[in-house]
Amino acid sequence: MSTRLQGRTIVLTGASSGIGAEAARKLARQGATVCLLARREHELDAVRADIVAAGGAAHAYVVDLADAESADAVAARLLAEHPRIDALVNNAGRSIRRPIKDSLDRVHDYERTMAINYFGAVRLTLALLPRFLAQGHGHVVISSSMSTQVPIPLFSAYLASKSALESFTRSLTAELGHRGITSTVVYFPMVRTEMSGATSIYQAMPMLSADKAANWLVKAVVDQPTRVTSLPGAMGEVGMATLPGVITKVAQPLFRRMDRSLAKRTKG
C-alpha cells in the first residue's frame, strides 16, 4: 500500500459503484481515509468492506444529495466525525439523454439533473468550506464531461448542470485560492458505467473503463492540477474558443452519423 495520501481524509460522492467506487479503493490504497457518500446503502457498505478488508480506512454515509435536509445532515456528521478533511470529490451525478424538442414539457428533467449535479455538489462544498478555510487548505474536485468542451447534442440537461458546476468551481478558486482553496475539473470522455449503460446504442461505443477513469480522479486528488482532460477534449476547447461557429456546424452531422452507426452496430 502506498503512503502518498497518508493522514489525509477524502470525501467522495457517488462512491457506491462505477468510477466513484474504483476511485475510493485506489485512494485508500494510497493511504487516505475515504468517506464514501451515496444513496444505495448495501452497495456503499460493500465498497467500504472491500477497502477495510484490504487494510484501508473507509467510512460509509448514506445520503441523497438532491435532498437538502439529507445533504445538510451528512455534512454535519462529516464535520463532527473528522477533525481534518483535505479534499472533496464531487463525483455523484445524473445524466439524461433526450432531444430538446422532446423536452418541451419536461422541465422536471432539468430540475432533477440540477438538483444532484449542481445544487447537491454546491451545498456540500459550501458546508465543508469553513473547515477548509480554518485549516488553510482544501481541494475540491468535480467530475465533469468532455462534452462540455465540445458541442454535443442530446444531453442539454446534463451538460447545463455540469457547466454550471464548472463555473462555480472556477469562481471558488478565483476568490479563495489565496486562502489555500484549490480545485480540479475532470473532463471525462465516455466511461463504461451503469449510467452510460442506460443508453442501449452505447453498448457498441468504445469507452474508458471505470477502473481507468478512476485514475483520473486519483490524479486530481494527488497532483491537484487545474484540470484533467484528454487530447480531444483540449482540442475541442481550443476550437470552441477560436472558431465556435465553425466547430459547432461541423460537429452536427458527425454526431448524427455516429448515432446512426452505433444503432446499426447494436442491432447487428
Q: Give the CATH number of the domain where residue 193 resides.
A: 3.40.50.720
pTM to 2 decimals? 0.91
What pLDDT does 259 receive? 67
Residue 1's pLDDT band (boundaries 50, 70, 90)? low
State which residues form the domain around 60: 9-267
**Interior/surface letters 218-243, b for 16+ CB within 10 angstroms, e for the rest:** bebbbeeeebbbeeebeebbebbeee
What pLDDT does 202 receive? 61
Indicate if 110 belongs to the active site. no
Distance CA 12, CA 256 (A): 35
Nearest to 166 by CA among 190, 178, 148, 147: 148
Residue 205's pLDDT band (boundaries 50, 70, 90)? low
Total domains in the chain come to 1
In the set 118, 158, 187, 202, the catalytic residue is 158
